[in-house]
Each structure stands twice: as C-alpha cells, then as structure tokens.
Structure 1
Amino acid sequence: MAVGKERFSAELIKGSGEFIVNIPDWDLMEQVLYCGTHSGRDVDKFKETKLTPEKAGKLLKTPKIKECIGSIECSVIDGIEIGDHILFSGEVLYAEAEEDLFKDGVWDIEKAGLIYHLGEKCFMKSSPFTKV
C-alpha cells in the first residue's frame, strides 16, 4: 500500500507495524472523500463521519471500520521510500468480507458497489464486466 511520507497514516503504520485495508462500498463515498481530504492529526474521523471503529478480527490493535463490506488485516513486512511515498508491504493475517457480495468465488461487483480511486477527487463505481 502506498502512503504519502508526510501523512499521519504513514506515521501510524511505522509506529504500530500494522495496517488494515478497509473496503468501503459506494454507499460510503461521502465518508471516503472526507477521510481522504482530512488528516487524523487534526480531526477525529470516526466522530466526524459517524463511522464505527470495531476490534480487528485477529491480532491487530488497529481498529477496522464496521460499516465497510470487507477488511484485510496486515502486519508490516517492509516500507520502501519511493519518491514522496512509502510503499508498505504486509503479511495478510486475516481477511473478511460480506459473503453475499461474492459469486463463484469472486466479488459480485454489480452488487458490491466497489469504489475505485482514479486520482485527485475522481472516483468510479464498479460496473458490469465480462469474464473471459
């Protein structure tokens, strides 16, 4: 996962040695945008977005976000500085997702409403696809 070197998130990941990749759906787009444009150094994002911190599924102290449709809990293996970012690699310790959002072992992207960040404030929602 790439995180800006100066970001509060990078500081927290380096300090704790762990991170969680929360997987929001399109219904959380407003909260995603808020969290991406405000620093946890300055505001309590859980309070401001009314999202709920929840104990991680396994060994981590970092909370996951209850409203997300899935989460991937990782311990940091390495952090490599690349330009103005740190590329964190992690060992997946635990992962979970809402089972009804899968079909034939993969995300049912029409049902899941996954968010894709294209850069800046540009996002797109998952849409139908063709399996080849």
Structure 2
Amino acid sequence: MENINGKELWKPGNMLYPIPAVMVSCQREGEKPNIITVAWAGNVCSSPAMLSISVRKERYSYDILKETGEFVVNLTNRKLAYATDWCGVRSGKDYDKFKEMHLTPLESRFVSAPGIAESPVNIECKVRNVLELGSHDMFVAEVMGVTVDEKLLDNKGKFDLRAADLISYSHGEYFTLGEKIGKFGYSVVKKKTSKRKK
C-alpha cells in the first residue's frame, strides 16, 4: 500500500460517510406495500426540492420503483434501527415487511405508496429521471410533500433533530448522530460586544 505524507493511498471506493440510513416504501396497485433499506440517498436540488436514491437492479423493489415512479423516504431513528436492518437483509418477495416488523402503513397525500407511521419524517416523492450508473441505478425524484411527527417540533415549529434520535450508516454499521457543535454561518458571525458605561 502506497504511503503519502502519512496517509495510505487506497483504491477508489465509497468513502463519503456517514450517510443517512433510510427506509423507502413503495407499492404496486393491488399488491402489499414493501420497504427497502437504502444507504445511497441524498439531496440533489433545493428548488424544486429533489432527492435521489440508488438501488441495485436485482433488488425486489427496483421494478416497483421503476413501474410506479413513486416512493416515500422514511427517516429512521434508534427505535427503528432493528427494523431498518431487517428490511435491508430480507426480500419483499418473501416477506410482508410491514407485518413482520409491526410497522404501520401511513396514507400519503401526494403519492400512492404509503409512508411508515413510526418514522419521524416521511418524504413523498415522484421519480423524474432514472440514471443507469453501474452497480446501482439512481432514481432522481421531486419531493411532493413531507410529514413530520408533531412531537418533534419545538415551540417555534422547528424540527428538533436531537429529539428525533436519527441514525446514520457507515461501513456496515449504524450510529446515532452526535452533539450539535455549531450552526450554518457561525464561523463568520461577529459576536456582539457590550459597551461599558463609564
């Protein structure tokens, strides 16, 4: 392994960690809803609000996503960690994941796929483009609506991230999020100095 100034040079790989561990729910008309655990997910545009998920073609949910063009991204937390992992290693072809994990389908407002009621945040999406990339295809989708557990809103209506106890994923392991260390722009905001009265 080549060493450069105290750093090892590795072959190209996925090192953009940690990443969100989300459960994506989808459903064909007349069939049971399904859940797929997705690690390759992220925001891609703010106006219109858009995100992407990347899914292997051989996954059971791939064809459902391709055919329906709709899905719900459900954020996961400590309480949902076991279900998140279970839904990621079992196939919807063989199991009713909602039933097996005692999860409740949540009726969506803008798409036909249900969300997961136990999830702190549900993001309803419509696919706008599918990019064939290699091991995964990327579904680029527009966010049609978001539902948030009202118990996680502070007195100003802001989402309380710490109370949500969200989890992330890194190299095959799940982690809860750490402590807040700053907010956007804090590095350039000048501290107000109080003038002493003489």
TM-score, with normalisation over the residues of structure 1? 0.89
- The question of whether the paired residues in 2 share the 8 Å contact of 1:80 and 1:86 is answered with yes
89, 92, 96: which one aligns with 1:44:
96
Deviation at 1:14, TM superposition (A): 0.4
Deviation at 1:67, TM superposition (A): 0.7
Gaps of 5+ in 1: none
Look up the equivalent residue of 2:104 and give its one-letter code: T
Q: How many residues align?
A: 130
In 2, Cα distance between the equivalents of 1:27 and 1:15? 31
SS in 2 for 1:88: strand
Gaps of 5+ in 2: 1-52, 187-198
Which gives a bigger RCO, structure 1 or 2 (Cα 8 Å, sep 6+)? 1
Deviation at 1:97, TM superposition (A): 1.1
In 2, Cα distance between the equivalents of 1:47 and 1:100? 25
Deviation at 1:102, TM superposition (A): 4.4
Q: Find the counterpart in structure 1 of residue 170 from structure 2.
A: 118
Deviation at 1:105, TM superposition (A): 6.9
* Higher Cα radius of gyration: 2
Deviation at 1:74, TM superposition (A): 0.6
Deviation at 1:83, TM superposition (A): 1.3
- The question of whether the paired residues in 2 share the 8 Å contact of 1:77 and 1:91 is answered with yes
Task: Map Cα deviations across residues 102-132 of structure 1 (whole Å, 9 max, x no partner).
Answer: 4577643321110112143x11101212113
180, 186, 189: which one aligns with 1:129:
180
Deviation at 1:64, TM superposition (A): 0.8
SS in 1 for 2:143: strand
Look up the equivalent residue of 2:146 and give its one-letter code: A
SS in 1 for 2:147: strand
Higher fraction of helix: 1
73, 78, 91: which one aligns with 2:124:
73
- The question of whether the paired residues in 2 share the 8 Å contact of 1:109 and 1:128 is answered with no
Report matched runs for 1:1-132 at 5 Å.
Answer: 1-56=53-108, 58-102=109-153, 107-120=159-172, 122-131=173-182, 132=186
Task: Map Cα deviations across residues 39-90 of structure 1 (whole Å, 9 max, x no partner).
Answer: 101111011111111211x121111111111100010001111111011111
RMSD: 1.6
TM-score, with normalisation over the residues of structure 2? 0.61
